[in-house]
Amino acid sequence: MINFLFRGLIRDKQRSLFPIIIVAAGVMMTTWLFSWMLGVFNEIIEGGARFDTGHVKVTTRAYNEIASQMPNDLCLTEVHTLLNELDKDYPGYDWTPRIKFAGLADVPDENGETRAQAPVMGFAVDLLSDHSIEDERLQISKSIVRGSFPNSAGEIVISDELAQKLEVGIGETITLISVSANGGMAIHNFTLSGTVTFGMGALDRGAMIADISDIQYALDMENATGEILGFKKNLVFDQEQAVSIKEEFNKKMSNTEDEYSPYMITLLDQNGLGEYLVFAQAAGFLIVGIFVFAMSIVLWNTGLMSGIRRYGEVGIRLAMGETKSHIYKTMLVEAFLIGLMGSFIGTVIGVAGGYYFQEYGMDISGAFKNSTMMVNDVVRAQVTFTSYYIGFIPGVLAMLFGTAISGIGIFRRQTATLFKELEV
């Protein structure tokens, strides 16, 4: 019987091809959109995490209160000891100190007078330690436009856009004028080893990256740092674990009476990312929900149209002695087969599209031209295991649901009028 139905299904294009196209289109859109949104959401989260928030972050309580002001006078001290403890207690995370600072980049002429000057946002990261993976994490070497990655103390890289603005060349001196941790003026000379393009508008307008030892020296922060960032070693943010670590650490290390005691937060506690993540998850569910709802209505209508078209067929089957429930079941089997085929085709195309945008991405730099958000200029889709079923299952269910509703009409059919109806 299944073979018989399948043959009819294949031959009757209006019963198969059209619904398959509808299901495939819906599933493809859902699959691709899910992969795309996942990629964009994760890129925003991970992009921010790499440069700014980490998966978890340790600061002093006081620093955390006004972190946006980069208050290095409220920095963590005895950093080596704290890092050792973090490494020991949470070995699944990679812990790295960072200092964020702001200042003026001053380029002197041959007489030592200011030739050019511009505000900079600085990141002091561990560039030169053997075990450091900060270069890989921030992809500095890969982003070099001119010159090279800093190889020795006193060397820095700046954004290429800033270098062009300052008209400064590789090997030239750049003087950082900033504020020390003690509140005094800090002036330190660096040598420009290279320029980079971060691919993030906010950084490309004026960022400087220096080795943390140099900045600790320049800002009077020996064995101190503004922040310690923790990154899960598999690079994937684990919300549940991060929250658990935060609570454990704060219970053990943080003292509410001491504003200089260390305090841990997760990326969800920063820059509204918690709300953002909730929004992202809700958006994902919303997309799938809208798809299932819309597709069910479309397929319900398709089922009704098919029911009208197949009125005679159902009538003759009833007259021949097929029960209403058997006809209903066969229609559900047909719907299942159509849903299966449409969902398979839609998933293949959707995932293929997802992989394409995962590989090549889409340039959205125009949209974030004046934004201070740390978002990559090129955002990419992210195909995960979920991408393979996020559209597939609703596609099959929507087809079944649509047919289940429209097929109820079979049970209302009066066999008493079949002879009259079948005379038409």
Asked if 321 is part of the footprint of other proteins (rule: CB under 8 A), the reply reads yes
Asked if 333 is part of the footprint of other proteins (rule: CB under 8 A), the reply reads no
Asked if 323 is part of the footprint of other proteins (rule: CB under 8 A), the reply reads yes
For residues 225 and 302, which CB has a smaller minimum distance to other proteins in the complex? 302
Asked if 312 is part of the footprint of other proteins (rule: CB under 8 A), the reply reads yes
List the helix and strand counts (H, then E) for the chain.
Answer: 15, 12
Asked if 415 is part of the footprint of other proteins (rule: CB under 8 A), the reply reads yes
Asked if 329 is part of the footprint of other proteins (rule: CB under 8 A), the reply reads no
- How far is 90 from 293, CA to CA, in rounded Å? 45
CB of 321 to other proteins, least distance (A): 3
CB of 25 to other proteins, least distance (A): 24
CB of 408 to other proteins, least distance (A): 15
Asked if 360 is part of the footprint of other proteins (rule: CB under 8 A), the reply reads no
In this structure, how many other beta carbons lie within 10 angstroms of the beta carbon of residue 185?
9
Of the residues 21, 236, 319, 378, which one makes contact with other proteins according to CB under 8 A: 319
Asked if 385 is part of the footprint of other proteins (rule: CB under 8 A), the reply reads no
What percent of the residues of the chain are helix, what percent strand, and what percent coil, each to the nearest 5?
55, 20, 25
For residues 62 and 418, which CB has a smaller minimum distance to other proteins in the complex? 418
x/- mask, other proteins, residues 266-305, rule CB under 8 A, reads ----------------------------------------
- Of 27, 31, 23, 29, nearest in space to 382 by CA: 31
Q: What residues contact residue 4 under an 8 Å CB cut-off, 6+ apart?
A: none
Is the Cα dihedral 214, 218, 224, 225 positive or negative?
A: negative
CB of 322 to other proteins, least distance (A): 6
Of the residues 24, 318, 337, 338, which one makes contact with other proteins according to CB under 8 A: 318
- How far is 188 from 80, CA to CA, in rounded Å? 24
- How far is 405 from 300, CA to CA, in rounded Å? 7
Of the residues 97, 150, 199, 315, which one makes contact with other proteins according to CB under 8 A: 315
Stretch that binds other proteins, among 5-13, 169-177, 200-208, 298-306 (CB under 8 A): 5-13
- Of 206, 226, 219, 225, nearest in space to 177 by CA: 219
Judged by DSSP in three states, 414 sits in coil
Please give the structure tokens belonging to residue 35.
């992969």
CB of 311 to other proteins, least distance (A): 11
Please give the structure tokens belonging to residue 409.
């009409």
For residues 2 and 236, which CB has a smaller minimum distance to other proteins in the complex? 2
Stretch that binds other proteins, among 7-15, 76-84, 102-110, 203-211 (CB under 8 A): 7-15
Q: Position 232: which residue type? A: K
| Residue located via tokens 């002093």 | 60
In this structure, how many other beta carbons lie within 10 angstroms of the beta carbon of residue 11?
9
Asked if 185 is part of the footprint of other proteins (rule: CB under 8 A), the reply reads no
Asked if 320 is part of the footprint of other proteins (rule: CB under 8 A), the reply reads yes
For residues 243 and 418, which CB has a smaller minimum distance to other proteins in the complex? 418
Q: According to CB under 8 A, which residues from 9 to 48 bind other proteins?
A: 11-12
Identify the H or E element spanning 231: strand 227-232
- Of 102, 104, 100, 103, nearest in space to 67 by CA: 100
In this structure, how many other beta carbons lie within 10 angstroms of the beta carbon of residue 66?
10
For residues 185 and 424, which CB has a smaller minimum distance to other proteins in the complex? 424
| Residue located via tokens 């991970």 | 46
Asked if 412 is part of the footprint of other proteins (rule: CB under 8 A), the reply reads no
CB 39 within 8 A of CB 46: no
Stretch that binds other proteins, among 163-171, 208-216, 264-272, 315-323 (CB under 8 A): 315-323
For residues 115 and 324, which CB has a smaller minimum distance to other proteins in the complex? 324
For residues 8 and 274, which CB has a smaller minimum distance to other proteins in the complex? 8
- How far is 161 from 294, CA to CA, in rounded Å? 47
Taking the mean position of all CA atoms in its chain, how far away is CA 66? 26
Stretch that binds other proteins, among 121-129, 173-181, 319-327, 386-394 (CB under 8 A): 319-327
Q: What region does 253 belong to: left with phi over 0, alpha with psi -120 to 50, or beta?
A: alpha
Asked if 4 is part of the footprint of other proteins (rule: CB under 8 A), the reply reads yes
What does the binding site for other proteins look like in residue numbers (CB under 8 A)? 1, 4, 7-8, 11-12, 312-313, 315-326, 415-416, 418-420, 422-424
